[in-house]
Structure 1
Amino acid sequence: MNATHQEQELRAAAAAIGRRRFLTVTGAAAALAFATNLPGTARAAEADARTAITEDPFTLGVASGDPLPGSVVLWTRLAPKPYEPGNGLPEARIPVSWEVAHDRRFSRIARRGTATAHPEFNHTVHVDVAGLAFDRVYYYRFRAGRWISPVGRTRTAPAPGARLTDVKLAAVSCQAYHDGYFTAYRHLAAEDLDVVFHLGDYLYEYAVTPTGGVRAYTDRVLPDLYNRETLTLEDYRLRYALYKSDPDLMAAHAAHPFVVTWDDHETENNYADETPENDVPPEEFLIRRAAAYRAYWENQPLRSPQQPSGPDMQLYRRLKFGRHAQFDILDTRQYRSNQAYGDGSDIPGPESEDPTRTMTGETQERWLIDGWRKSNALWNVVPQQVTFSQRKLDLNPVAKVSMDSWDGYPASRARVLAGAEAAGIDNLLVLTGDVHVSYAFDIKKDWNDPNSRTVGTEFVTTSISSGKDGADKPSTWDTYTQANPHLKWFNGRRGYYTLTLGREQARADFKTVNAVTTQGAPITTAASFVTEAGNPGLKQV
């Protein structure tokens, strides 16, 4: 049964469910329907890769992610025809061999094995390689039939309890294919990094024209199936193929392990839990969410515990780099209360200030705070999606704020900060994406008192391409900097930041390109900031 038939049957079943029962029944129905197309539930034959694959299947490159001490996830997807449904492959299992080596020439093999590319997973491959050394660079590749993949470079996490000199990471987000080239990723690939955090909007659900939007291709024409919004499992799979075929994104994945979390556009703009952006019946939206979550897992270097069950997927998780850094990766989209006063509102009031409102859901909030209580890390880092710090949008006595950010959930934010304080977290860092600009914030004990104690730091990364070229000083620069004295940096160009977590301080370097609507822009370090261990507060250097 292919994905289209699955979704048609599920919609028919969901339409028969009473509205009062959909929350308890539709999710289960979606899980059951998508579970009928998993390896082991159907008897797909095994193909001979030598005859089944007649063209290069590694058109989408390779990736690695979620490094643990002595372990890392490797990923690839067999797609000789990436822009076609089914990838140009038979509905059959295809064996794929893999190798991990100490050197790029593969003269010293550390681990090797064979995995299966299942048609039920769109011929994606996830290999959780264990038994590697701690804190070590490795090289990896795949083979299918006579074809060998590009070589990837990855790195394992340090040993538990290790005391490190530093950890260097990068943060990226928001890469709208139709808004421009992924030039920043080519520069990112050349960085010396331990890990990259992708903070959401890996793809966009919006239509992409045959010429690739502002890329304005003259040497190719994208199939018409891209010129529509993503709704079905097939739509999302094809959209990942388009994005992952970008050579700059492939270079970044091949250079560094990624740790990923989603925001809204991987499914639909500004959705909140089971509530869609528009007036779509909720049972219909849960089916779409199940398709989006399935395609996300298939196309990212994630382990089996993150594999979704219908419209549910536990993406929040914890990674540790010795005693130096603990990373608590959040999901602020799947469990949140709906935006107060409806999506698009920006005036706070009793509804937005309701103490029962949540950004993370009760279970994830408790998991985060319990993890802080047990942490012995020097730096406690929270990679997540939307702006955490207060961000007034005007100078009025009751200022407008974004209801889609933590400003729309102030009680939830207050509980998180109270939990950090109770746990004795001295060096709290929040890593954020979403807004297509760079910010650096002091996190304040009292947002409305600039002289109140600084309790942490938030670094917001700009987009890779979303919003097109941008500007050094957006039109809102004067207003935002005046309204928010805890805002220490604001820039509207595209790019990313690197963050070096040392023993005495953390240093963020904001790196930008001046254009993404044309190729080849150079990278510039637009600003650098430090915050001292044990003494939070941003200083420009």
Structure 2
Amino acid sequence: MTPAAQHSPELRAAARHFDRRRFLTVTGAAAALAFATNLPAAGAAAAAPLDAARITENPFTLGVASGDPLPASVLLWTRLAPKPYEPDSGLPAERVAVHWELAHDESFRWTVRRGTATAHPECHHTVHVEVGYLDPGRVYYYRFRVGTWISETGRTRTAPGRGDKGGTASGLSFAAVSCQAYSGGYYTPYQHLAQDDVDIVFHLGDYLYEYAVNSVGGNRKYTDRTLPDLFNRETVTLEDYRLRYALFKSDPDLRAAHAAHPFVVTWDDHETENNYADDIPDNDVPPEEFLLRRAAAYRAYWENQPLRTPQQPSGPDMRLYRRLHWGRLAQFDILDTRQYRSNQAQGDGWQIPGPESADPSRTMTGATQERWLLDGWAKSDAVWNVVPQQVTFSQRRDATGDNYKVSMDSWDGYAASRERLLAGADAAGIENLMVLTGDVHRGYAYDIKRDFDDRSSRTVGTELVATSISSGGNGSDKPANWDTYMTANPHMRFYNGLRGYVTVALGRTSARADFKTVPYVTTTGAGISTAASFAVEAGKPGLTPA
């Protein structure tokens, strides 16, 4: 196949300016795509205004959210959807004035900011409000109003500043979550996370799944409702992706978690299509057609996530990698390991490593993002350098001995790309590297080795892999391959197959990670427990039981 780098510019241009006659004649993914590539500009008012009195049902069925906290600002999100399971969400193609408030207290007696935003039909009546001139390191409460309808109240916070007032932030607690297939089961872990005392939540991908969801919700086995047939097909068009977000975000436990904590999100593959790589799909659809699907998926992702203006997509392109700080305690470099990667070597499954996977030209991040990360490390003055990303970073062999296989979709399939990052961390003098991972529906804890093929190699960081929220169904406490994995990968310090999430408490001298799991998700009501806890001492990489 022609390398993606050789044809991406032309294909991306085609996705932005696809000829309508050609558009109407292609088959597969592009056949039903019909959407404007560009989002409305600030102040745009092409659509007629809607009288809020005409909205006779609650428009806040998908809740509220906040994200990407900065020292002086927060990002607030909501989407108006009186009928979320209908393509138009129950609203005409008219713009809606949405009033918002931000306060120091939950009762809104001490309001510090308020304003009005416009929910455009072109953006499926979503709202992204960037509120500035706030105090660093402070909790705020927010809500939205349309006519007489008032949303639930959300809780968010600003990050500590890097100067005298907040730059010496001494503590931070966060959660890492991933993989929430609606048909896999209930989002019970989110019910518990909403009550957890964390400052921020990192979502590491697979927020959405493209696969069909049947009338009973898969493993949820609904008996009190029937989901519409429009969910019982794979997502391909913009309408498909928008409707699927409506289904997922209507879950009360996910809504509760979003309302309780600010989220920092990044995607993996299923928000678009399983195991895609750059402009190369998982099937035999032509790249120019897949880029149309990718443009739809990326647009729906931005519409439905608490993301700031720099993350707005342009056709099939969207810069999702970005950097956040928590005072001088932590630097977060959020990666995108899907949009710029080389195609998987030797197929995208488990294979014996070979010359193709070892090719030094192969990249997981693309050259520009890789340089951005290495430059950011070189300039970092943070105690902890945390990298929220998608796929397993540490080596993960499936067997003992020399005839082992590794996942070609993970960093094992991009060994040279991983080596460049490890060398860059060394060169930058990064002492406290922590990688956050999702994707695999398992909880893992790894010591990151400078050379994974040398068992005596020094430990240079920690990788914490968050299990799924629901993907894979109930799972098991000790998967069948537990003994093999733990023996074949001595740097693997923990392996668990139940659903849940991981929380991390960062301090200036140490960190603590708690792997929290629920025994089942195919029915409601499961309690939560801590499966394992680990500590890391600052300046001395390596996990120890806590």
What TM-score results when the alignment is normalised by the length of structure 2? Answer: 0.94
> Residue 464 in 1 paired to residue 469 in 2?
yes
> Residue 47 in 1 paired to residue 32 in 2?
no
Residue 124 of structure 2 is matched in structure 1 by 122
Q: What amino acid is aligned across from residue 189 of structure 1 in structure 2?
A: A
Deviation at 1:450, TM superposition (A): 2.3
Query: Contact (CA 8 Å) 1:436, 1:492: kept in 2 or not?
Result: yes
Instruction: Please state whether the residue corresponding to 2:355 is helix, strand or coil.
Output: coil
> Residue 250 in 1 paired to residue 235 in 2?
no
Q: CA 1:201 to 1:152, structure 2 compared with 1: closer, same or farther past 3 Å?
A: same
Query: Contact (CA 8 Å) 1:98, 1:142: kept in 2 or not?
Result: yes
* Distance in 1 (alpha carbons) for counterparts of 2:496 and 2:212: 28
* Distance in 2 (alpha carbons) for counterparts of 1:522 and 1:273: 40
Counterpart selection for 2:11 from 22, 26, 48:
26
Query: Contact (CA 8 Å) 1:429, 1:458: kept in 2 or not?
Result: yes
Query: Contact (CA 8 Å) 1:35, 1:309: kept in 2 or not?
Result: no
Counterpart selection for 1:241 from 243, 246, 257:
246
Q: What amino acid is aligned across from residue 93 of structure 1 in structure 2?
A: R
Residue 5 of structure 1 is matched in structure 2 by none
* Distance in 2 (alpha carbons) for counterparts of 1:127 and 1:297: 13
Query: Contact (CA 8 Å) 1:37, 1:120: kept in 2 or not?
Result: no
Query: CA deviation digits over 1:378-431, x for unaligned, max 9?
Result: 000000000000111111313100000000000000000000000010000000
Q: Once structures 1 and 2 are overlaid, which stretch shifts more, 77-86 or 212-221? A: 212-221
* Distance in 2 (alpha carbons) for counterparts of 1:356 and 1:59: 47
Instruction: Please state whether the residue corresponding to 1:510 is helix, strand or coil.
Output: strand
* Distance in 2 (alpha carbons) for counterparts of 1:129 and 1:32: 34
* Distance in 2 (alpha carbons) for counterparts of 1:303 and 1:364: 19
Query: CA deviation digits over 1:110-154, x for unaligned, max 9?
Result: 100000000000000000010111000000000011100000000
Residue 158 of structure 1 is matched in structure 2 by 160
What TM-score results when the alignment is normalised by the length of structure 1? Answer: 0.95
Residue 7 of structure 1 is matched in structure 2 by none
Query: Contact (CA 8 Å) 2:15, 2:288: kept in 1 or not?
Result: no
> Residue 431 in 1 paired to residue 416 in 2?
no
Deviation at 1:219, TM superposition (A): 1.0
Deviation at 1:42, TM superposition (A): 7.7
Instruction: Please state whether the residue corresponding to 1:277 is helix, strand or coil.
Output: coil
> Residue 208 in 1 paired to residue 213 in 2?
yes
Query: Contact (CA 8 Å) 1:22, 1:283: kept in 2 or not?
Result: no
Counterpart selection for 1:362 from 367, 380, 387:
367
* Distance in 2 (alpha carbons) for counterparts of 1:432 and 1:512: 16
* Distance in 2 (alpha carbons) for counterparts of 1:248 and 1:154: 17
* Distance in 2 (alpha carbons) for counterparts of 1:280 and 1:395: 38
Deviation at 1:452, TM superposition (A): 1.6
What do you get for the CA RMSD once the two structures are aligned?
1.4
Residue 316 of structure 1 is matched in structure 2 by 321
Deviation at 1:453, TM superposition (A): 0.8
Residue 63 of structure 1 is matched in structure 2 by 65
Residue 374 of structure 1 is matched in structure 2 by 379
The 5 Å alignment of 1:34-433 reads 35=36, 38-39=39-40, 43-51=46-54, 53-161=55-163, 162-433=167-438
Q: Percent identity?
A: 72
Counterpart selection for 1:477 from 475, 478, 482:
482
Residue 504 of structure 2 is matched in structure 1 by 499
Q: What amino acid is aligned across from residue 244 of structure 1 in structure 2?
A: K
Gaps of 5+ in 2: 19-34
* Distance in 1 (alpha carbons) for counterparts of 2:529 and 2:5: 55
